[in-house]
Amino acid sequence: MPTAKTTASAAPQPEVEAAMVECLEHTGRYRVLRKLAPREVKPHLHPPADRAPGSWPRLGVILDTETTGLDHAAHEVIELGMVAFTYDEAGVCDVVCVFSQLQQPAGPITPDITRITGITDEMVAGQRIDVEAVRRFVEPADLVIAHNARFDRPFCEKLCHGFEAKPWACSVSEVDWTALGFEGTKLGYLVGQCGYFHNGHRAVDDCHALLEVLAQPSRTGAEPAFRQLLSSAASARLRVHALGSPFHTKDILKARGYRWSDGTGRQPKCWWREIAEDAMDEEAHFLETEVYAGGMNAHVERLTACERFKA
């Protein structure tokens, strides 16, 4: 089967390459991953700025940040990548714009951050993210998507005005990847399970990869990932703060999915959890019977997609 066209000095022709892949996969002993190729940018398909509210197509922005650490109050963005794309009722349509810039932080980038991101001090020397260009890029967006929006949103709001007013969606917490046949939520794993590999942990490459994962049709009969994001973004959720919960109930709360807030930012110091609006009656019953012994002392906050994932 190999010919002169498949030697190290010459890449195989597409039809030969396809035959090689088919031969390997047909044995049942191999899975071949394709290099993920970013979608062609089609700027002329950008939705008009004066389109009627609620009309299709709409504009989504997938973004990813690389930072000097995990704490948005203490650390800085060193790279921002964004991919703007149109979408309609059926799902993802076309990529219409791409943004990618580096930024030099106040201090040296640590070896651990370089190991994770591949970004060095030499790469960012003298670089600054154009925050006005970022604001213009995000301004027409109907939805901002991040793979762990609870991490990216606070960094983006600190970096540039305009993010705070946008509805956000999180492709980690708002997609039921298990129901779609996946066993994890890390982007590299999702990409691999879709049959691709990519240059992970560089911001704009991760954006292209996430877009491709979200655009995949469902393989299990469950609602496709992108449709799940749209449904979640269109629905309000309730953040339940278990104020004054007895110490001995901490394991019960944790087992139900509550997380501890140490009181930083605007959050009270207590256990909290986000639930769907129609789940409040069940949650109130749980708190009354399992936590407060008959008298619920929880504070409930209603959050739309514009308020979710803030610091």
Domain 43-234: give its CATH code: 3.30.420.10
- Above 90 in pLDDT, residue 99? yes
Is the dihedral angle over the CA atoms 270, 271, 275, 280 positive or is it negative?
A: negative
Torsion from C-alpha of 133, 139, 141, 143, nearest 10 degrees: 100
Arithmetic mean of pLDDT, 105-114 = 96
- Above 60 in pLDDT, residue 98? yes
pLDDT number for residue 154 = 97
pLDDT number for residue 62 = 98
Residue showing tokens 């994770």: 116
Q: How confident is the model at residue 86 (pLDDT cuts 50, 70, 90)?
A: very high
Q: Which of 69, 94, 98 is nearest to 203 (CA)?
A: 98
- Above 60 in pLDDT, residue 1? no
Highest mean pLDDT among 23-32, 187-196, 261-270: 187-196
In angstroms, the CA 63 to CA 60 distance is: 10
**Residue 230 identity:** L
- Above 50 in pLDDT, residue 217? yes
pLDDT, tens digit (0-9, with 9 covering 90-100), for 49-78: 888 878 899 999 999 999 999 999 999 999
CB 83 within 8 A of CB 211: yes
**What residue spans define the domains of the chain?**
43-234, 237-303
Q: How confident is the model at residue 4 (pLDDT cuts 50, 70, 90)?
A: very low
